[in-house]
Homo-oligomer: A and B are copies of this chain.
Amino acid sequence: MIRVGVVGASGLAGGELIRLVSQHPELELTFLGGSSSVGRRPSELHPGLRLDLGLTVEPVTTDLSGRCDAVFLATPAPVSAELAERLADQVPCVLDLSGAFRIRTPELHERWYPKVRRRTELADRFVYGVPELVGEELVGAPLISLPGCYATAITLGLAPLVLGLGLDIRTVVVDGKSGSSGGGLQLRTPDLHPLRSGAIAPYAPTGHRHAAEVGDFFGRGKPGTIGSLSMSAYGVSHVRGLMASSYVFTDQEVDARQLQRAYLRFYKGRPFVRVRRHTETLIPVPDPQAVLGSNFCDVTALHDPEGGRVVVLAALDNLVKGAAGQAVQALNLRFSLPEETGLAMQPVMPA
């Protein structure tokens, strides 16, 4: 059994990590870390959970040497930056779910995370963990930075075009729509149910740091390029799941059949990315309701010849494939387990 710790046990991603780790046949939860929740049991923090783990939350400052083989950090970025520095010496593998180590380019990091101080040396050692795209890099990696929920969807949506077909994209316009769980459980008036229910709240209309993260990632790769990428993000009236719509403009010729083939080929054998035909089911997909509770990311690329563009849709559960599930998937690869170990649950739908 691989012994794992979860720091940030009281948050939504922390709760989801506890849920997934407890259902995983090769993992044993040996540490829960937090600050305001020290001393609490998981079921006190997360009303859905009923687990006899014999664990209560301990201070984040606890020394984990010899107690954990891997630690998940589901903490705010400034906290993660600090903890990673310290835990890197205590445990064989640190998996950070925050934004602290996602953007590699220092200037870009400072532009979007001005309050997150980190050592560049440390940052350079992190593998950016989109498991479908980084190949063997995760095996044995000591430090893994998990992409943002939107970044995961956008990146998985665009990769077959940029990395598969090698397109040179002039412009991508991203429109993101997400449920309220993406904002966590901080006490903010606009997140109260009466104001968030029924809303289409343009909370980041002219830019989002996940877009910067995507640009930074593709800027490191080949063969294709992305000229410019802009993004707007909206909170809509459900709880779990997001949709990233990428409107792609390129001067190269593409057609519907070529797109479908490229996507199928690119994700062949990858268990968690489902290339879907837009009309294959009774509801149009991708749609986040069709991945709820699962680690799937559904993607489709549609040709819009009249609009002179490719429409890429990607939907995922922001707490699973966009956070805790992807982190477990990365850990599986890190420890050379089959990728889908403990993650084979089908979506809960309708919900």
A326 CB within 8 Å of chain B: no
- In the complex, A141 Cα to B119 Cα: how many Å? 66
Once the chains bind, are A307 and B230 in contact (CB under 8 Å)?
A: yes
Segment at the B interface, from A67-75, A179-187, A216-224: A179-187
Say yes or no: is A274 at the interface (Cβ < 8 Å to chain B).
yes
A321 an interface residue at 8 Å Cβ cutoff? no
Known A47-B285, A187-B187; contact A202-B278, beta-carbon cutoff 8 A? yes
Quick check: B206 and A303 within 8 Å, CB to CB?
yes
Report A72-92 CB contacts with B as 1/0, cut-off 8 Å: 000000000000000000000
* Closest Cβ–Cβ distance, residue A305 to chain B (whole Å): 9
Using C-beta atoms within 8 Å of the partner chain, give the interface range for chain A: 35 or more
- Name which residue of chain B comes closest to A312, CB basis: B205
Cross-chain contact A274 with B47 (CB below 8 angstroms): no
| B228 A283 Cβ-Cβ under 8 A | no
- CA of A48 to CA of B45 in the docked complex: distance in angstroms? 29
Taking a contact as CB atoms closer than 8 A, the residue among B50, B175, B306 that contacts A296 in the complex is B50
Interface string of A171-209 (1 = CB under 8 A from B): 101010101110101011111111111111111011100
Instruction: Using CB atoms and an 8 Å cutoff, list the residues of chain A in contact with chain B.
Output: 12, 15, 19, 22-23, 43-51, 171, 173, 175, 177, 179-181, 183, 185, 187-203, 205-207, 228, 230-232, 234, 236-243, 245, 247, 249, 274, 278, 280-294, 296, 302-304, 306-309, 311, 313, 315, 344-351
10 residue pairs, one from A and one from B, having the closest CB atoms:
A230-B307, A48-B347, A48-B349, A193-B196, A206-B304, A47-B281, A180-B193, A293-B348, A194-B350, A175-B175
